[in-house]
């Protein structure tokens, strides 16, 4: 029987890899974590600039309904009371998000839920949408034509680079529609930003675990695979299988970070640009995540683009074509006995952080049980 240096080789130090490594180490297993980036943490990584924790890969707001997951992350950092309340800018007109009584009042002057519901009903009565087949139909059914035109259509088409009629309905169902004056972007019971940024959580998870940065699994695949009994893979599943069933499509992002010589640039952490002309989708002003009072400020303009080889993938595109491709990779993945696929890229799922943590905890539990069962 071969004896390996490690029980697990964990490819990727994002939340999935870090939680998995933490749980396996806690259970007495030896882990090696590798990451092709020069830092750990994947997309939750924060870089300190001007005393501000800059969410380097876009705004990350932690939210969950699951008390266990909330307690889990709170082991590693305290969370502040930040509540996400983005504002949409449509050609200079400002609207509160998510879609709620404040949005409806600004648009139509409606003051009661009954008036707002009446307005939406009037707008969609002739559309006869019963079972929404795509994002456009789902959005129209939920909020009517005015909101669809001003706040959804162009933002969505910029974000995804395709028509709203070609996107799945579930994407827009992420956002609440409320007939109360409540600008909280999420419905979850628990929400906040880790005080001191997300790096604290990643450092806590990876404490005492060997990690090699700037190390791409595919640059040295055979040698790395021989190091461990099992592989936990959190990179692109199509790349893992040499694109044999074709390439999965992803949306990528470009982040333009600027330091500004002023204390408060936009008065909110997140402003979405929902018109078609503004080339970026949103501007993030990072200090507002932690109620910062630093003399300067740091903002990020976020642009959406098509991912291609060599460009970072961020969002899986769960349309029909890609769903058919991922199904083939998943069938192949099921036949593996020594490889566990997890996280946003390997599972090709539009996961939030709490979902990635939940998935990593479940997969680690199952894998550790199997290892112990096999007497290892």
Active site residues per annotation: 174, 178, 251, 282, 302, 350, 352
Tokens of 250: 């992803």
Nearest-angstrom CA–CA distance, 3 and 329: 29
Site string for ligand UDP, 136-165 (x = CB under 6 A): ---------------xx--xx--x------
Does 174 bind ligand UDP (CB under 6 A)? Our answer is: yes
Size of the site for ligand FAD (CB under 6 A): 35
Nearest-angstrom CA–CA distance, 170 and 138: 8
Residue nearer to ligand FAD on the CB measure, 253 or 317: 253
With CB under 5 to 8 Å by kind, the binding choice for 159 among ligand FAD, ligand UDP, none is ligand UDP
With CB under 5 to 8 Å by kind, the binding choice for 82 among ligand UDP, ligand FAD, none is none
| Residue 349 phi, psi (nearest 5) | -130, 145
| Residue 7 CB, nearest approach to ligand UDP (Å) | 34
With CB under 5 to 8 Å by kind, the binding choice for 314 among ligand UDP, ligand FAD, none is ligand FAD
Task: Render 167-217 in DSSP notation, one character per residue.
Answer: S-THHHHTS-B-SSS---S---SEEE-BTT-THHHHHHHHTT-EEE-S--G
Cα 213 to Cα 10, 33, 38, 57, distances in angstroms: 12, 8, 5, 18
Binding residues among 191-230 for ligand FAD as defined by CB under 6 A: 216-218
Contact 245, 333 (CB under 8 A): no
Binding residues among 47-76 for ligand FAD as defined by CB under 6 A: 57-62
Over its C-alpha atoms, the chain yields an Rg (Å, rounded) of: 22
| Residue 12 CB, nearest approach to ligand FAD (Å) | 3
| Residue 151 CB, nearest approach to ligand UDP (Å) | 5
| Residue 88 CB, nearest approach to ligand UDP (Å) | 5
| Residue 117 phi, psi (nearest 5) | -65, -40
Does 367 bind ligand FAD (CB under 6 A)? Our answer is: no
Nearest-angstrom CA–CA distance, 323 and 346: 13
Segment contacting ligand UDP by CB under 6 A, of 46-54, 109-117, 172-180, 361-369: 172-180
Beta-carbon count within 10 A of 277 CB: 7
Cα 302 to Cα 28, 57, 170, 252, 284, distances in angstroms: 41, 9, 23, 10, 8
Residue nearer to ligand UDP on the CB measure, 246 or 276: 276
Please give the helix or strand (H or E) that residue 297 lies within, else none. strand 297-306
Place of tokens 């993030």: 284
Residues that bind ligand FAD (CB under 6 A): 11-17, 34-37, 42-44, 57-62, 216-218, 234-235, 253, 314, 343-345, 351-354, 356
Residues that bind ligand UDP (CB under 6 A): 88, 97, 151-152, 155-156, 159, 171-172, 174-175, 272, 274
């Amino acid at each position: 029987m071969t004896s390996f240096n490690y029980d697990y080789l964990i490819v990727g130090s994002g939340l999935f890899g870090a939680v998995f490594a933490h749980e396996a180490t806690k259970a007495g297993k030896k882990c090696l974590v590798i990451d092709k980036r020069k830092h750990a943490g994947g997309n939750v990584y924060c870089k300190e600039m001007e005393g501000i924790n800059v969410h380097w890969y876009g705004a990350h707001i932690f939210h969950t309904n699951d008390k266990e997951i909330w307690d889990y992350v709170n082991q590693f950092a305290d969370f502040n009371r930040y509540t996400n309340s983005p504002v949409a800018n449509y050609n200079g007109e400002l609207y509160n998000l998510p879609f709620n009584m404040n949005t409806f009042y600004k648009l139509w002057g409606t003051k009661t839920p009954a008036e707002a519901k009446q307005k939406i009903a009037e707008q969609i009565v002739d559309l006869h949408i019963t079972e929404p087949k795509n994002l456009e139909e789902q959005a129209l059914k939920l909020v009517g034509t005015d909101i669809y035109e001003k706040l959804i259509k162009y933002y969505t088409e910029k974000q995804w680079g395709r028509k709203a009629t070609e996107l799945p309905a579930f994407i827009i169902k992420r956002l609440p529609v409320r007939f109360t004056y409540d600008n909280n972007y999420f419905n979850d019971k628990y929400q906040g930003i880790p005080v001191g940024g997300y790096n604290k959580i990643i450092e806590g998870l990876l404490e005492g675990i060997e990690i090699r940065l700037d190390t791409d699994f595919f640059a040295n695949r055979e040698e790395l695979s021989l190091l461990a009994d099992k592989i936990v893979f959190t990179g692109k599943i199509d790349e893992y299988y040499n694109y044999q069933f074709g390439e999965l499509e992803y949306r990528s992002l470009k982040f333009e970070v600027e330091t500004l010589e002023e204390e408060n640039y936009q008065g909110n952490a997140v402003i979405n640009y929902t018109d078609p002309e503004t080339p970026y989708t949103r501007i993030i002003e990072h200090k507002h995540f932690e109620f910062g009072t630093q003399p300067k400020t740091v903002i990020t303009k976020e642009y959406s683009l098509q991912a291609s080889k060599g460009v970072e993938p961020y969002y899986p595109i769960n349309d029909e074509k890609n769903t058919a491709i991922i199904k083939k990779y998943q069938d192949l993945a099921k036949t593996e006995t020594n490889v566990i696929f997890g996280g946003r890229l390997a599972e090709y799922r539009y996961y939030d952080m709490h979902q990635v943590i939940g998935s990593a905890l479940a997969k680690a539990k199952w894998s550790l049980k199997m290892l112990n069962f096999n007497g290892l």
